[in-house]
């Protein structure tokens, strides 16, 4: 393989929801070699592991980091573990990409924002600040480590990622299971965000790879937001799941966050603006309702 024109794309977190979607995506450009790295292949908490596994990284190669400590509630009692994976790990990757002139695409989250955000779609220029959770704080620290270590790195914030098909366990598959088990469900209706279909997000990330391969200077370092278009509450999403499989959406009853407390408080509002994504010439992700219908095609209510 011609390494000058055919970069290697390393996908960390390859066994996770987004990593799996990246490896299975029909949008993988034919000119690249893809290397999926699971936690068994690379330990982001170890300098030795990161440097050894990525020893062959060269200029023109790309690392897509989807690996993360994603147990939002568990992070509240495992702070050191969360920061080791979500902050120190991305820094190690950025050190490697910066050292050889490779590019890093680091996936982040709407949880980097605290409660005092403006009630409008949050732009790439809105700095994460004072997140209410350990998970959010660790992801914000990771963003800052990455951009400080490798200014050419691209941070892609996303939110409410779902796949909608077992064996993945996400909000959508949970709603599908509960639809078959319970007559009615109570779901939080005062948290608003943008549901994001993992395969759609994966296609967007591969579009960045194509751009970086064709014209590396066309996308500089910094923050981009990538979610499916539109917004809704968790209750809206649950009702849309029921509708998509032919179940009565009125079986979903709304409740407040205070009525359904969690160890780690969720953002009340975290809709992400896709303006910077579009301004960069990247294809906007479609509306989340259409993505959900595709995700659940073939599914049936119990």
Active site (catalytic) residues = 135
The answer to whether the beta carbons of residues 71 and 78 sit under 8 Å apart is yes
Token pair of 52, please? 């050894």
Integer Rg of the chain from CA:
19
Residue 290, CB-side half-sphere exposure with 13 Å CA sphere: 7
* Whole-number Å distance between alpha carbons of 8 and 14: 15
State phi, psi for 60 to the nearest 5 degrees: 100, -20
Count other Cβ atoms within 10 Å, centred on residue 268. Answer: 15
Nearest of 32, 42, 45, 38 to residue 17 by alpha carbon = 38
Rounded CA separation 27/302 (Å): 33
The set of residues, in sequence order, having a beta carbon less than 8 Å from that of 272 and lying 6+ positions away, is 110, 121, 122, 157, 158, 159, 194, 225, 226, 227
């Amino acid at each position: 393989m011609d390494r000058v024109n055919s970069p290697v794309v390393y996908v960390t977190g390859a066994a996770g929801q987004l990593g799996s979607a990246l490896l299975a995506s029909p949008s993988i450009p034919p000119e690249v070699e893809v290397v999926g790295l699971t936690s068994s292949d690379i330990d982001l908490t170890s300098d030795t592991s990161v440097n050894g596994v990525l020893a062959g990284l060269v200029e023109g190669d790309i690392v897509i980091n989807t690996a993360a400590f994603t147990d939002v509630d568990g992070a509240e009692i495992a702070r050191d573990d969360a920061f080791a994976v979500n902050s120190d790990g991305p820094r190690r990757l950025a050190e490697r990409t910066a050292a050889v002139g490779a590019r890093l695409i680091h996936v982040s989250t709407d949880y980097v924002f605290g409660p005092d955000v403006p009630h409008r779609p949050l732009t790439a220029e809105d700095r994460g600040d004072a997140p209410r959770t350990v998970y959010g704080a660790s992801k914000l620290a990771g963003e800052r480590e990455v951009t400080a270590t490798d200014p050419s790195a691209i941070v892609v914030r996303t939110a409410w990622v779902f796949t909608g098909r077992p064996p993945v366990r996400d909000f959508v598959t949970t709603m599908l299971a509960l639809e078959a088990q319970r007559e009615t469900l109570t779901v939080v209706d005062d948290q608003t965000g943008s549901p994001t279909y993992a395969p759609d997000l994966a296609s967007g990330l591969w579009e960045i790879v194509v751009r970086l391969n064709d014209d590396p200077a066309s996308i500089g370092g910094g923050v981009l937001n990538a979610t499916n278009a539109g917004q809704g509450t968790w209750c809206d999403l649950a009702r849309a799941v029921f509708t998509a499989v032919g179940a009565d959406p009125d079986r979903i009853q709304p409740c407040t966050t205070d009525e359904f407390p969690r160890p780690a408080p969720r953002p009340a509002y975290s809709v992400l603006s896709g303006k910077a994504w579009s301004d960069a010439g990247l294809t906007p992700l479609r509306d989340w309702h259409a993505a959900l219908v595709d995700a659940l095609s073939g599914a049936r209510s119990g």
